[in-house]
Amino acid sequence: MNNDVIYGINGPVVTVKETDSFEMMEMVYVGAQKLVGEVIGITDRLTTIQVYEETTGLKPGDPVTGTGAPMNVLLGPGIIDNIFDGIERPLKAIEEQAGAFISRGAAVPSLDPQKRWAVTMKVKAGDRLEEGQIYATLPETPIIEHRLMVPPGLSGTVVEIKPDGDYRVMDTVAVLRDDAGESHELTLCQQWPIRTARPVKKRLAPTVPLITGQRVMDTLFPIAKGGTAAIPGGFGTGKTMNQHQLAKWCDADIIVYVGCGERGNEMSQVLDEFSELIDPKSNRPMTDRTVLIANTSNMPVAAREASIYTGITLAEYYRDMGYHVAMMADSTSRWAEALREISGRLEEMPAEEGFPAYLPSRLAEFYERGGRADVLSGGEGSVTLIGAVSPQGADFSEPVTQNTKRFTRVFWALDKSLAYARHYPAINWINSYSEYFNDLDPWFRENLGDEFVEYRNKISALLQEENSLMEIVKLIGADVLPDDQKLVIETARAIRVGFLQQNAFHAEDTYVPLEKQKRMMEVILHLHEKAKEIVAREIPISKITELGLFDKLAKMKYDIPNSRLEMFDEYIAEIDDKLGLLML
Amino acid sequence: MIIEYVGVKEINGSLIVMDGVKGVSNEEIVDIKLENGTVRQGRVVQIEGERIVVQVFEGTRRISLKNTRTRLTGHPMEMPLSPEIIGRVLDGAGRPLDGLGEIFPVKKANINGTPINPVSRVYPKNYINTGISTIDTLMTLIRGQKLPIFSGSGMTHNDLAVQIVRQAKISGADSSNFGVVFAAMGVQKDVAEYFRKSFEESGVLSRVVMLLNLSNDPIIERTLTPRCALTIAEYLAFELDMHILVIMTDMTSYAEALREFSSSKGEIPGRKGYPGYLYSDLASLYERAGMIRGASGSVTQIPILTMPNDDITHPIPDLTGYITEGQIVLDRALQGQGFYPPVSVLPSLSRLMKDGIGEGYTRVDHQALANQLFASYAKVIDARALASVIGEEELSPIDKKYITFGRLFESRFVNQGFTENRSIEQSLDLGWELLSTLPRAELDRVDDALLDVYYKG
């Protein structure tokens, strides 16, 4: 019945003439090699398809076959600790099949069909199951329990259930009879269209922080679990480094890391590092809680566009089991450029800088899929979205950064001049912001005390003050400032070097618990207050700086181990002693 | 029998449009025979039913609507490869220029290559000693890396590239398995000759493959040159286990050729008229650097690009910087002061250096020293900005120290002779010597333990 054939080819876009057999967004196979594609435009004359692989060698007249379903991913055990391309094909399996270079039309199953999983049943025959309810569990990795859920939209009574035991992904383990009397077989996996958000019971307010162990992020610009953040920065400012740090240290249960149009060597670094790195909380390799999606910049552009959706769908699936998931997308600009590239091939009317007019709505759709929620399986889960943005020419006024800013609530702006001075993380404390303070402050007050919020506000006020003083210093030099303003500059320097700067390669400093962050602020502010009293007595500030206390605080991040927070008391005592002598 | 299609339907820039063509495949190569007997090659870039658009590599001059006979070759653009290719001089499309006859192919490969599977990559960790202080200490080149030189017209990027080739010591490489692939795109004849002569003088010419698309050669051919070069490099590295350094100059000319092709095809332009897919296109070249499991060879790329108007935010350097693993930026002001190589330290970066230096690779203090040099030099720039407003005399004593440090750093550390080859120990020790002119308390990026050993102030 199917004799649809290729009519035209232009880069990754192929057209089929005068057919009515396809649906919008349907997944199709193109050519004899069965390259994966997706229908993106239909008129009565031409159907337009974007192909997720190289189109070299395709011919007019080659067959195009529909699958009758939209772009799907297969959800089931075997996702964690795996590395996929943009359309959920496992790269290790492709390597086994084709060697070190990716060949086209690789037909490999998304999840290993032969592997057996030790399944424990959670329901018995006669039980009533609603959509999203858990019917069985299995250990996917030593730290992640995979929970099998009734697919959304389905409910009914269990008429048959297999005993506990080892099953493969496609084996039927239960049969459900719905209210219309129809039977549905439940296996260890389910399909879900990548461009559709998975349903939840109820959305919750973002009142719990995602703790990252990165001082400038946790303290000055915190993000909530289920929140959205953007990391914009020109090349070399450390977007990828920050994303790696977050993936390694944030307190989410599961990490979905999407390398979208980025460097191949970076992905191999992630693979190397994450398998060697031990998660301090579980004592297991990081890979036990990580999924990687790698669509490097030289892999086909259409699959780059899909990789973001594949990533978020996997993230939502684990959220539905009741996990806190953090997804890092590096970089969303490459995804936007893929949209632009395909839009150009379709000869659509461009909006700003050649990007299609629907760029903002696509970004909004993506970031709206983040959030914290009561999930259908009962309990609570969240998807936190952290997207890197690579602005053209490091200019934040370009369309992708501007539109991302509208749909994300944390903005960690990376700064070229900080990066040049090797101040990492190069998050600019003046341009960055977090809109979660109101939601999160109750949590901080409850768990770390009111002081935490108070210290943070003081620190950011000091930094603001320094910023305006620096305007003057740039014009006339620091020497002419009165001593109380010089003190602000000294303290701010201690904050910048001692607190904001964090060394990702230092064993102690790479992750810092909140309690230590609080104590560090406390010590810096204590010195500031004491010094202020001295300056008020018209004792010259040089007497204070000579004591080397500011320099000592600048190095306390290395000198005080995370396990010996009582040392802060010694620091405070030393400050009191030394400054007390000056007061005499 | 082979069908020849007579005449064309439309001619536009380097593109010809033909009608009624059957059985053509995307990206297929066609031979176009003119009435006067010359044969040109072209590539199918768009198909719409039986109407095809062909890009003619040698240009469309003298083609009329009816003086051509076109034949489909049935395969995409392929590069003949054999071990004998080492030492040859080819044109921009990979055809011999040196009069030594055709390359007898052991195999043929599609010049577009196929992407390396990310899981098959070996993460590059072995550093390449270039003997240049700034590069070795502050932006270490790693085997399998792509590290471009961002330069401007009239600057000494060519000398720097030649010096790197001459001095580079790649671990695991010796004269038997080291090679250079040199791709010239739109450079002048003198420049190409300079490179040839320099390779000859340093005794590597017999291990160089040169691809020359000079500034008066067809522009469309230029879009093939880097692809041919990288196909050769991949073959030598991954099948013959050689360590290959690929020098591509000038990427700006390449991107301009791409823009010309795109606009004649009537595509919607992105920034500054460059096609919207410039990023993907550049990535398809740069990402062909690296190492793979199961092969002991490597492809290291040093692309050179001249920033139009010295503007680092121009689309070509901008997109390049987003793909490559760092960059070496040259500075006109430093060159003006007579410093060579005029490496502008602050915007330069090597992303892979952090895992290829330190104990076991270079020296334990390397990372800390590099961080401190960057941080201290950034303060020099601040102090200079202040001095330009209030005068150097009015600066605080510490700012004056920074000014002195800055001068020493530029004239001794950055500045280095074209023939001077410094060992890594020499470079690192020099770095410490200069830092020791600053008070110890200013060195806030270094552990006390290291300062105790290396600080000499």
What's the CA gap between A58 and B76, in Å, rounded? Answer: 11
Query: Does A225 have pLDDT greater than 60?
Result: yes
**Threshold 0.95, pTM exceeds:** no
Q: Which residue of B has its CA nearest to A339?
A: B276
pLDDT at A400 over 80: yes
Give the minimum alpha-carbon distance from A379 to chain B in angstroms, rounded to a whole number. Answer: 36
Average model confidence (pLDDT) for chain A? 92
Per CB-CB distance under 8 Å, the chain B contacts of A474 are 385-386, 389
Contact indicator for B25, A58 with CB cutoff of 8 Å: yes
Instruction: Judge: B118–A83 Cβ closer than 8 Å, yes or no.
Output: yes
Angle at CA of residue B203, ends B201 and B205, nearest 5°? 95
Half-sphere exposure for A104 (CA within 13 Å, toward CB) = 20
Select from A45, A245, A263 the residue whose CB has the most chain B CBs within 10 Å, as the one to mutate to test that interface: A263
- The token pair at A252 is 């989410």
Angle between helices B366-390 and B424-435 (to 10 degrees): 40
Chain B interface, best mutation among A420, A496, A506, A509, by max B CB count within 10 A? A420
A264 touches chain B (CB under 8 A): yes
C-alpha distance across the termini of chain A, in Å: 99
Which of residues 402 through 421 in chain A touch B, CB cutoff 8 A? Answer: 416-417, 420-421
Q: How many Å apart are CA A397 and CA A399, to the nearest integer?
A: 7
Angstrom distance (rounded) from CA A337 to CA A524: 44
Handedness of CA B414, B415, B417, B422 (dihedral sign): negative
A100/B444 touch (CB, cutoff 8 Å), yes or no: no
- What pLDDT, on a 0 to 100 scale, did the predictor assign at position B413? 97
The answer to whether the Cβ–Cβ distance between B355 and A294 falls below 8 Å is: no
Q: What is the average per-residue pLDDT within B382-406? A: 91
Are B218 and B138 spatial neighbours (Cβ–Cβ below 8 Å)? Answer: no
- Count of other CB atoms within 10 angstroms of residue B389: 11
Residue B213 bridge partners (DSSP): B185
- Whether cis (ω within 30° of 0) applies to the bond prior to A331 is yes
All residues of chain A having their beta carbon less than 8 Å from the beta carbon of residue B121 are: 264-265, 267-268
**Residue B24 to residue A59, Cβ atoms within 8 A:** yes
Choose among B276, B284, B349: nearest Cβ to A340: B276
**Nearest by Cα to A216 from A439, A384, A420, A414:** A414
Q: How many CB atoms lie within 10 A of CB B181?
A: 29
Question: CA nearest A479 in B: which residue?
Answer: B396
Residues of chain B with Cβ-Cβ distance to A101 below 8 Å are: 113-117, 120
Range A99-113 average pLDDT? 87
pLDDT digits (tens, 9 = 90+) for A188-202: 999 999 999 999 999
Q: How many CB atoms lie within 10 A of CB A533?
A: 12
Residue B250 has pLDDT above 50, yes or no: yes
- State the DSSP H helix or E strand holding residue A402, giving kind and residue range, or none if neither: helix A399-407
Chain A residues touching B280 at Cβ < 8 A: 261, 297-298, 301, 337-338, 341
> Whole-angstrom Cα distance, residue A553 to residue A496?
11
A267 in reach of chain B (CB within 8 A): yes
| Shortest distance, CA B429 to any CA of chain A (angstroms) | 21
- Non-local (6+) Cβ contacts of A270 within 8 A are A244, A247, A257, A259, A292
Name the residue facing B277 among A92, A259, A341 (closest C-beta): A341
Q: List beta partners, residue B43.
A: B29, B55
The reply to whether residue A60 touches residue B49, judged by beta carbons under 8 angstroms, is yes
Beta strands across the sheet bearing A156-161: A128-129, A156-161, A174-177, A183-186
With beta carbons under 8 A apart, name residues in chain B contacting A103: 114
Instruction: Confirm or reject contact between A134 and chain B (CB < 8 A).
Output: no
B81-90 residues labelled b (16+ CB within 10 A) or e (exposed): beeebbebbb
Inter-residue contact B267 to B324 (CB < 8 Å): no
- Chain A segment 279-338 residues within 8 A of B by beta carbon are 294, 296-299, 301, 334, 337-338
Q: How confident is the model at residue A2 (pLDDT cuts 50, 70, 90)?
A: low
Counting Cα atoms < 13 Å in the Cβ hemisphere of B456 gives 9
Q: What pLDDT, on the 0 to 100 scale, is given for residue A278?
A: 84
Q: Is A70 in contact with A27 (CB distance < 8 Å)? A: yes
Position B267 scores a pLDDT of: 83
Q: By CB neighbour count within 10 A (0-12 exposed, 13-18 middle, 19+ buried), where does A584 fall?
A: exposed
Q: In Å, how far is B363's CA from the nearest CA of chain A?
A: 16
Closest chain B CA to residue A96: B120
Chain A 183-212, residues with CB within 8 Å of chain B CB atoms: none
The answer to whether the Cβ–Cβ distance between B117 and A394 falls below 8 Å is no
Q: Chain A residue with minimal CA distance to B125?
A: A269
Please tell me which residue of chain A has the smallest CA distance to B234.
A101
Chain A residues with beta carbon closer than 8 angstroms to that of B327: 235-236
Token look-up 């800055």 returns B406
Task: Looking at the complex, report in whole angstroms how far the Cα of residue B23 sits from the nearest Cα belonging to chain A.
Answer: 7
Q: Closest to B322 (Cβ–Cβ): which among A264, A296, A390?
A: A390
d(CA B431, CA B412): 10
**Residues whose CB is less than 8 angstroms from the CB of residue A347 and which lie 6 or more positions away in sequence, other chains included:** B268
From CA B154, how far away is CA B336, in angstroms rounded?
11
b/e string for A41-62 if b means 16 or more Cβ within 10 A? ebeeebbbbbbbbbbbbbbbeb
Q: What is the DSSP string of A328-343?
A: EEETHHHHHHHHHHHH
Residues of chain A found within 8 Å of residue B287, distances taken between Cβ atoms: 263-264, 296-298
Binned at pLDDT 50, 70 and 90, residue A1 comes out as very low
Percent of chain B whose predicted confidence (pLDDT) is above 90:
70
Mean pLDDT of B425-435: 96
Q: pLDDT digit string (tens) for A414-469?
A: 999 899 888 999 999 999 999 999 999 999 999 999 999 999 999 999 999 999 99
Looking at residues A174-187, what average pLDDT do you find? Answer: 94
Residue numbers in B near A52 (CB within 8 A): none
CA B307 to chain centre: 13
pLDDT recorded at residue B3: 82
User: Which one, of A374, A472, A361, A457, lies nearest residue A132 by Cα?
Assistant: A374
Across residues B131-156, what is the average pLDDT? 95
CA distance A299 to A304: 8
Distance from CA of B205 to the nearest CA of A (A): 30
- Contact across the interface for B118 and A100, Cβ inside 8 Å: no
Asked if B441's CB is within 8 angstroms of A548's CB, the reply is yes
Report the half-sphere exposure of A203 (CA within 13 A, side-chain side). Answer: 11
Mean pLDDT of A132-154: 95
For residues A256 and A246, is the Cβ–Cβ distance under 8 A?
no
Nearest CB partner across the interface for B444, out of A60, A354, A554: A554
Answer yes or no: do A422 and B269 touch at CB < 8 A.
Answer: no
CA A51 from centroid of its chain's CA atoms: 27
Q: Which residues of chain A have a CB within 8 Å of the CB of B371? A: 422
> Is B1 a residue whose pLDDT tops 70?
no
Q: In the numeric block, which tokens belong to residue B80?
A: 């003949």
By C-alpha distance, the chain B residue nearest A398 is: B271
Say whether residue A350 is in contact with chain B using an 8 A CB cutoff. yes
pLDDT, tens digit, 9 for 90 and up, residues B53-64:
999 988 888 899
Closest residue in A to B292 (Cα) is A100
CA distance A346 to chain B (A): 10
Could you say which residues from 454 to 483 on chain A have a Cβ atom under 8 Å away from some Cβ of chain B? 473-479
**For residue A472, what are its two tokens?**
């003057």
Q: Point out the least confidently predicted range of B135-139, B165-169, B278-282, B300-304.
A: B165-169
Angle value at C-alpha A509, between A507 and A514, nearest 5 degrees: 125
Burial class (CB in 10 A: 0-12, 13-18, 19+), B48: middle
